[in-house]
Structure 1
Amino acid sequence: MATIFFSNAKTFLPSLASTSSSSSPLAQIQNVKTQQIVCRAGNEPSSINVILNKRSFISLNLTAAATLVFGTYKRSFDEANAAILEAEDDEELLEKVKKDRKKRLEKQVVINSLTKEKAYLQDLVYKLSKVGQAIEKNDLSVASSVLGPSKDTEWVQKVNSALDKLSSSTEEKTEVDTFSSSLASLISSVSRNDIEASKVAFVASASSFEKWTTLSGLVEQLKGL
């Protein structure tokens, strides 16, 4: 409403001034005041718009600043947490490496001290090699002469004892049990002159023993593997 009035003020005021040119000074002063009121009324919407625009601009800037600060803080917080977790993982990994290295050193000391047991296992490697060649040729008589009549022969008992002494982990002990069972089955199959069963038992025995040597760390110390 004020805007419409202000737009008509220029056409209205001259006529007012012309009709009042001969009026008294008091009337002229009154006309000036009327013009000032009209001008202020016309300018009020513009001033309000400026104030509102400034307030909106400040509000937007504050919101943007808060978003930026919060986002930066969140990223910093996430990065700090990630760094802490990574450091913890590194410490756990380093601790595990230290423990594994300590175990290997301790195991190596035990291996070096059990020279007699290593000799028994080296003899086992030679025996398995001869038995494998004999079975490949279907010559179970040669295999039987190497293995002996039963699992209770002296060399088998020495091998089982050596394996027990040189096994420390659960995996190693499990593999020893598998090997002992396979070796007993091999001796039995050869004694029965069962070529097919002998082949199966030989493969099982050789595989489990080879796996045990890898787990125990003797794979590089025994010749013929």
Structure 2
Amino acid sequence: MAASFLFNPTTFLPSSSSLTSHKHTFKGTSVCKCKCKCKGKPVCSLPNYPPHISKRSLSINLTSLFLLSLTGNANAAILEADDDLELLEKVKQDRKKRIEKQTVLNSANKDKEYLQDVIYTLSKVGQAIENNDLPSASSILGQTADADWLKKANAALSQLSSSPEEKAEVDTFNSSLTSLYSSVTKNDIEGSKSAFVDSANAFEKWTTLTGLTGQLKGL
């Protein structure tokens, strides 16, 4: 008996006529076709009720959203206030540095005299180079980079340079002057012109950075 159940699985399956008679359609309103007590009466699908939301829960949700918006605005206001304070502090520090710088410049009369000599010396050297008169340029510059006017100039440049940008221009100025001395000594007219332009540009940029442009003549 057990063997016949195992090898004949259709024993447990209902007949096809039985399956056909119990087919239903549940979409919307339909008529039952089965042979049961409903006798073909319409079968209605269950209504779809919206989720129940009470006035109290809706009020709580709206209140929560309002409080969250207030919190967000408060946090934004705090961050904005912090940014304003940081910006104000930076402005104060910059103003303080400018005042200190101007005080130093106003009292650096001797240093400004040395720097004025630099302008006069470079002007004469430039005229000599323009006329291709390198011997005269060499005489004005001095035989070496240890000339007295240049020593005094470097002392003033070092004293009045405070920012990294100003110090960088001083280094460029000295490097260009070294090239200028070398080119003049070698009687290299093109090299002398190029080195002179580099030196003059570096010195002019330095005076602009330090605020001395209006206090020195010939720029």
TM-score normalized with structure 2 length: 0.68
Distance 1:210 1:71 in 2: 62
The partner residue of 1:58 within 54, 79, 87 is 54
Question: Would you say how many aligned residue pairs link Structure 1 and Structure 2?
Answer: 172
| Per-residue CA distance 1:23-52 (angstroms, 9 max, x = gap) | xxxxxxxxxxxxxxxxxxxxxxxxxx9xx7
Contact 1:150 1:188 in 2 (8 A): no
Structure 1 residues 23-62: aligned runs within 5 Å: 56=52, 58=54, 62=57
Structure 1 residues 143-154: aligned runs within 5 Å: 143-154=137-148
Q: Which residue of 1 aligns with 2:40?
A: none
Distance 1:199 1:71 in 2: 74
Distance 1:178 1:170 in 2: 12
TM-score normalized with structure 1 length: 0.67
Q: Which residue of 2 aligns with 1:209?
A: 203
Task: Letter of the 2:52 partner, please give it.
Answer: S
Q: Segments of 4+ in structure 1 off by > 6 A?
A: none
Distance 1:132 1:76 in 2: 69
Q: Which residue of 1 aligns with 2:114?
A: 120
Structure 2: segments with no counterpart, 5+ residues? 1-46
Q: Which residue of 2 aligns with 1:142?
A: 136
Distance 2:126 2:66 in 1: 70
Which fold has the larger relative contact order, with Cα–Cα distance below 8 Å and residues 6 or more apart in sequence?
A: 1
Q: Which residue of 2 aligns with 1:24?
A: none
Structure 1 residues 109-188: aligned runs within 5 Å: 109-188=103-182
Once the two structures are TM-superposed, the CA of residue 201 in structure 1 deviates from its matched residue by 1.3
Q: Share of identical aligned residues, percent?
A: 60
- Structure with bigger gyration radius: 1
Structure 1: segments with no counterpart, 5+ residues? 1-48
Distance 2:73 2:128 in 1: 65
Q: 1:78 and 1:57, CA in 2 relative to 1: closer, same or farther beyond 3 A? A: closer
Q: Which residue of 1 aligns with 2:98?
A: 104
Alignment of 1:85 with 2:79, yes or no, is: yes
Q: What is the alpha-carbon root mean square deviation over aligned residues?
A: 2.5
Contact 1:175 1:209 in 2 (8 A): yes
Distance 1:207 1:155 in 2: 19
Distance 1:69 1:137 in 2: 86
Alignment of 1:192 with 2:190, yes or no, is: no
Once the two structures are TM-superposed, the CA of residue 124 in structure 1 deviates from its matched residue by 0.9
Contact 1:120 1:158 in 2 (8 A): yes
Q: 1:75 and 1:203, CA in 2 relative to 1: closer, same or farther beyond 3 A? A: farther
